[in-house]
Amino acid sequence: KDDPQKALSMLDGYSATMHFSREEQVEIAKEIGLTLARRYDDRALEVMTKYDPELRDNTVTEWRLRLLLRLGRWEEAYELARRLPKDLAATNRWRYWEARSLELAQPNSPLIASLYKDVAKERDFYGFLAADRTQSPYQLNNKPLVLSQALINKVRNTPGVRRALEFHDRGEIVDGRREWYHVSRLFNRDEMVAQAKLAYDLKWYFPAIRTISQAQYWDDLDIRFPMAHRDTLVREAKVRGLHSSWVFAITRQESAFMDDARSGVGASGLMQLMPATAKETARKFSIPLSSPQQVLDPDTNIQLGAAYLSSVHAQFNGNRVLASAAYNAGPGRVRQWLKGANHLAFDVWVESIPFDETRQYVQNVLSYSVIYGQKLNSPQPLVDWHERFFDDL
């Protein structure tokens, strides 16, 4: 990974003497090609084409297409998008990029509008992108649950649910969640959906979000995107000069409104602050912080999180796309991913983020911002005009 080009030269030289099988050669070449691609090195294209000409490896194929997009090779990107295996071609992601690369390669093609129109039907990052390309409204496709009272009563009176609610009422939240998740595994889909609605009505938002996701019911936007801690989030966003919808979206993505969330690396609370970040932010913005434990207090966490978010936002000239990526992966990495950018379109930049987690994070945050903008009666575009093109910092 330190010198992928040297590794490739060694592979060509050692393949015969070391008696690498074809499968071993392909696997080694895959890692070399992906490393080069994630560094936006056009030599990756030769490696990937040589060792996977028939598009058998989806990860390699996706990075071939991402690299063509990053390099501005629109015609080649469009041709590859048309050749994608069926499972990739069916996704909204690559349906969007088929339309977008065609638009960039052949701006007058009569196919562009219809390709975008199909993608824009979906409530996701690519659907919202396609809606913007065609200047059509975002399709939120909200379908609130309609449940019988009998089903809700049945679920509420299940012994496991009753125990979970007793724990919750006593403030024993961890035990309550544990009992809640255990009983969820015993329910069918309809019962899980009713359980999610029950949690939502009790303002127990994290179990509501988790349970409705496990039930794979995606269209009740009240349950999936609750207005938890609304007064604090809106106030702190205003204090820091940020879109409330964006602060809501970051919080929803970071913790799904689990007040006491702790990550494996030590981040805490609603906005998942690292101890050093919380301490430094408190000092910089004169926010009282008497102990590390106070970071788990929802109001304090939001106050610190919004302040830190505003500082990242300022570092990237008020660009939410870059600031969202930096909140997840760190400002240094974002600057690295901007190297060589020359009026690069934001959608291409996001698609070419090397880390899968950060790419999905940014897409989720921007999409969630659209949803929360609607819920706050303050509709926001997916990106503002000043966020649409990037240059090397």
- pLDDT for the residue numbered 10: 61
Please state, in angstroms and rounded to a whole number, the distance separating the CA atoms of residues 98 and 49: 19
- pLDDT for the residue numbered 124: 98
- pLDDT for the residue numbered 17: 58
Identify the residue with better confidence: 230 or 24. Answer: 230
Q: Please report, to the nearest 10 degrees, the dihedral formed by the alpha carbons of residues 158, 160, 162, 164 taken in order.
A: -150
209: CB partners within 8 A, 6+ apart: 196, 223, 224, 226, 256, 257
Domains of the chain (ranges, CATH numbers): 149-218 (1.10.1240), 230-390 (1.10.530.10)
- pLDDT for the residue numbered 392: 87
pLDDT band at 148 (very low <50, low <70, confident <90, very high): very high
Please state, in angstroms and rounded to a whole number, the distance separating the CA atoms of residues 52 and 56: 6
Please state, in angstroms and rounded to a whole number, the distance separating the CA atoms of residues 152 and 158: 10
Please state, in angstroms and rounded to a whole number, the distance separating the CA atoms of residues 133 and 171: 48
pLDDT in tens, 20-29: 677 888 888 9
Please state, in angstroms and rounded to a whole number, the distance separating the CA atoms of residues 337 and 392: 9
pLDDT in tens, 157-182: 999 999 999 999 999 999 999 999 99
Please state, in angstroms and rounded to a whole number, the distance separating the CA atoms of residues 139 and 122: 6
pTM for the structure as a whole: 0.94
Mean pLDDT within 141-154: 96
Whether the Cβ atoms of residue 205 and residue 229 lie closer than 8 Å to each other: no
202: CB partners within 8 A, 6+ apart: 165, 168
- pLDDT for the residue numbered 24: 81
pLDDT band at 7 (very low <50, low <70, confident <90, very high): low
Amino acid at 10: M
Q: Please give the span between the terminal C-alpha atoms of the chain, in angstroms, as a whole number.
A: 25
pLDDT for 118 beyond 80: yes
pLDDT for 16 beyond 60: no
pLDDT in tens, 361-385: 999 999 999 999 999 999 999 999 9
pLDDT for 8 beyond 70: no
Among all chains, which residue has been given the structure tokens 């070449």? 29
Mean pLDDT within 92-107: 99
pLDDT for 11 beyond 90: no
Whether the Cβ atoms of residue 373 and residue 379 lie closer than 8 Å to each other: yes
Give bridge partners of residue 273 from the DSSP assignment. 268
For 312, the token pair is 């990242």
344-345 vs 389-390, strand pairing mode: antiparallel
Please state, in angstroms and rounded to a whole number, the distance separating the CA atoms of residues 51 and 182: 47
343: CB partners within 8 A, 6+ apart: 389, 390, 391
pLDDT band at 1 (very low <50, low <70, confident <90, very high): low
Going by C-alpha positions, the residue among 307, 310, 242 that lies closest to residue 281 is 307
The CA-based diameter of the chain, rounded to the nearest angstrom, is 73
pLDDT for 13 beyond 90: no
- pLDDT for the residue numbered 25: 82
How is the chain split among helix, strand and coil, in percent rounded to 5? 65, 0, 35
pLDDT in tens, 309-359: 999 999 999 999 999 999 999 999 999 999 999 999 999 999 999 999 999
**254 part of the active site:** yes
pLDDT for 200 beyond 90: yes
Going by C-alpha positions, the residue among 341, 16, 218, 294 that lies closest to residue 350 is 341
> What are the DSSP calls for 210-227, one per residue?
HHHHHTT----HHHHS--
- Of the residues 62, 236, 254, 387, only one is catalytic, namely 254
- pLDDT for the residue numbered 21: 73
Q: How confident is the prediction for the chain on average, in pLDDT?
A: 95
CA–CA distances in Å: residue 307 to residues 26, 96, 107, 166, 265: 48, 35, 43, 36, 21
Please state, in angstroms and rounded to a whole number, the distance separating the CA atoms of residues 256 and 263: 13
Question: What percent of the chain has a predicted confidence (pLDDT) above 70?
Answer: 95
pLDDT in tens, 39-86: 999 999 999 999 999 999 999 999 999 999 999 999 999 999 999 999
CA torsion sign for 54, 56, 58, 64 is negative
